[in-house]
Amino acid sequence: MVKPRLVLVLGDQLTTEIAALRAADKERDVVVMAEVMDEARYVPHHPKKIALVLAAMRKFAANLEADGWQVAYARLDDSDNAGSIPGELLRRAEAFEADEVIATTPGEWRLIAALDDLPLTLHQHPDDRFLCSRSEFADWAEGRKELRMEWFYREMRRKTGLLMEGDDPAGGSWNYDADNRKPASDDADPPEPLSFAPDDTVDQVLDLVEERFGDHFGDLRPFGFATDRKQALKVLDHFIEHGLPKFGDYQDAMLRGEPMLWHAVISPYLNIGLLDPLEVCQRCEQAWQDGKAPLNATEGFIRQIIGWREFVRGVYFLEGPDYARRNALNHQRGLPDLYWGGETRMACMAEVVAQTRKYAYAHHIQRLMITGNFALLAGIDPAEVHEWYLSVYADAYEWVEAPNTVGMSQFADGGIVASKPYVSSGNYIAKMSNYCRDCAYDVKAKSGETACPFNLLYWYFIDRHRDRFEDNPRMKVIYRNWDKRDEDDRAQILREAEAWLDQLSKGKTV
């Protein structure tokens, strides 16, 4: 009798097109899926993220069974749950007398290592849901002095044919940033996000998550995420009809009380497998071709998926398991309590952290130019910043989160992802948001008791990292402007920045 093989399907691999399922035999093999504490607690994940993954896993497993697969599914509260993915595989191997595992390569180095240590024969298949394989990215990167997303993105456009007219980009330009990134007015009327009332499966999961993870940062209820492919496709349809037309214009805008604006909020579904990146891009391209969305919006959105998303995954695997622990700027300050909802007088930080607690979501500029910008300016340990982002967002998986945080946001990789640190004073925040209007600090004040902390910390960062950045072509003008300032003025800014940071480190309300 031929032994069955175990077919591992992880919680972020919820598609029938995953490589492991394609390599398996429905008549012979056993699909192994498991809700385990190791995955729920390796960082303190937002309860909404845990609920999303568990509910989506349960529904996907039910669909596999309906399609004729034998599924060995472990729920989190099963008494014999081994508590880890390797433990569950070993338990199922004994139960089914199996000694082989078919798997799709996980998206995090820690799980790859865990599977490699199994005392079972492992057949590991590349995760080909992505448009650029790890080997293709390594070939593209080889010999390059700089890895720049823009050049990679153009190759991906050529490869996929998206927004191409023969060998040329549609409209004659590769990107339309010049037409994008406008601030939104207070009377903007963004579409209402699509949400779904919990069904019986979701209700059961919510009760379980509430019981087991009630101590984690984040509001579990109300819960409105899509938890199956049909619902995720409805979210995509809703975005294309209501959000995409204005996405390009306002993709960097920030407004109090409007967390989603014209954003798609489909990254959680892309990252767990409910949506396919190419189908998403092709649907958006079709909307442009049908005259339902402008080119600047369509190109900007597609770039986020086939450009940035694919690029950061390539960097993560190219750079290896130590990438998330890098600290090129030697920042050592601990993550302040305000990231976990502690009191702060900074309106922008309070708004984004409160939004994160409620929705497990913030868009890319809120992450980069508010919480990320502040962490970099304040010299916070990038490992702690990395763990925070991985903990609090529903779309956070290390392959995508680490390069965005360690590389793009914190410059902790020394410039692999970004050509310069993404820092700004309060002026950028005032330009792109209405956060500053009712803030206790004065965004126009460069020094003094009411000065915006971003203003003080910006110049403090510039000054203390002069040796590293003053010869950077993109930063030379910044240093010239700093050096033109009166010496006493510079000394006052640095003195006040140090005093402010001292209050932050002591746990004072800032």
Residue 186 has pLDDT above 90, yes or no: no
Tell me how far CA of residue 309 lies from CA of 114, 119, 130, 162, 458, in angstroms: 25, 34, 9, 15, 28
Which string of DSSP letters, residue by residue, matches 355-376?
HHHHHS---HHHIIIIIIHHHH
Residue for token pair 């050509």: 419
Residue 187 has what pLDDT? 85
Neighbours of 486 (CB within 10 A): 8
The separation between CA 162 and the C-alpha centre of its own chain, rounded to angstroms, equals 23
CB 401 within 8 A of CB 410: no
**pLDDT, tens digit, for every residue of 461-476?**
999 999 999 999 999 9
Render pLDDT for 399-458 as a digit per residue (tens, 0 to 9): 999 999 999 999 999 999 999 999 999 999 999 999 999 999 999 999 999 999 999 999
Residue 178 has pLDDT above 90, yes or no: no
What is the residue-averaged pLDDT of the chain? Answer: 97
User: DSSP letter string over 448-459?
Assistant: STTB-HHHHHHH
Reduced to 3 states (helix: H, G, I; strand: E, B; else coil), residue 433 is strand
Per-residue pLDDT tens digits for 109-129: 999 999 999 999 999 999 999
pLDDT digits (tens, 9 = 90+) for 48-78: 999 999 999 999 999 999 999 999 999 999 9
Q: Quote the CA–CA distance of 211 and 160 in Å, as a whole number.
A: 45
- Peptide bond just before 47 cis, omega within 30 deg: no
User: What is the value of pTM for the model shown?
Assistant: 0.97
**Dihedral of the alpha carbons of 235, 236, 238, 241, in degrees to the nearest 10:** 180
Other beta carbons within 10 Å of 223? 22
Percent of the chain residues topping a pLDDT of 90: 98
For residue range 307-327, list pLDDT tens digits in order.
999 999 999 999 999 999 999
Mention every residue, 6+ apart, whose C-beta is less than 8 A from residue 473. Answer: none
How many angstroms separate the CA atoms of 352 and 432, rounded?
Answer: 14
Residue 360 phi, psi (nearest 5): 55, 35
Q: How far apart are CA 33 and CA 473, in angstroms?
A: 51
Tally Cβ neighbours within 10 Å of residue 192.
9
* Domains (range + CATH), the chain: 6-125 (3.40.50.620), 134-195+228-319 (1.25.40.80), 337-505 (1.10.579.10)
- Is 284:244 a contact under the CB 8 Å cutoff? yes
Ranges 180-189, 327-336, 413-422: which has the least confidence: 180-189
SS3 for 25-37 is CCCCCEEEEECCH
